[in-house]
Amino acid sequence: MYYLDKSRYLDAASRLGKTKIIVIGDLILDEYLIGEVNRISPEAPVPVVWVRNEKTTLGGAGNVVKNFSRLGVKSFVLGRAGNDPTANVLEELLLAENTSSDKNKILRSELVPTILKTRVIAGHQQVCRIDREETHPLSKEEEKELIRVFSERIQEADAVVLSDYDKGTLTSSLIREIIDLAVKHNKIVTVDPQVSHFFQYDKATVMTPNHHEAGKALGQKLESDQQVEIAAKEIAEKLHSPSMMITRGEKGMSLYLSSEGKTFHIPTVAKEVFDVTGAGDTVISVYTAFLAAGLNELESAIVSNAAAGVVVGKLGAETVSPEELLEALEKRGSFRP
Report helix, strand or coil for 333.
coil
φ, ψ at 118 (rounded to 5°): -105, 120
Q: Partners of 27 in the beta sheet?
A: 60
Whether 281 is a known active-site residue: answer: yes
Read off the amino acid at residue 55. Answer: K
CA 103/CA 116 separation, integer angstroms? 24
- The residue annotated as part of the active site, out of 26, 164, 192, 281, is 281
CA 196/CA 190 separation, integer angstroms? 17
Q: Partners of 117 in the beta sheet?
A: 30, 131
End-to-end CA distance of the chain: 12
Cβ–Cβ < 8 Å for 203, 161: no
Q: Is 320 exposed, middle or buried (0-12, 13-18, 19+ CB in 10 A)?
A: buried
Which string of b and e fits 88-115 if b means at least 16 CB within 10 Å?
Answer: ebbbebbeebbbeeebbbbbebeebbbb
Of 249, 322, 319, 290, residue with least CA distance to 62: 319
Cβ–Cβ < 8 Å for 232, 244: yes
Sign of CA dihedral 57, 247, 184, 240: negative
CA 65/CA 80 separation, integer angstroms? 15
Catalytic residues: 281
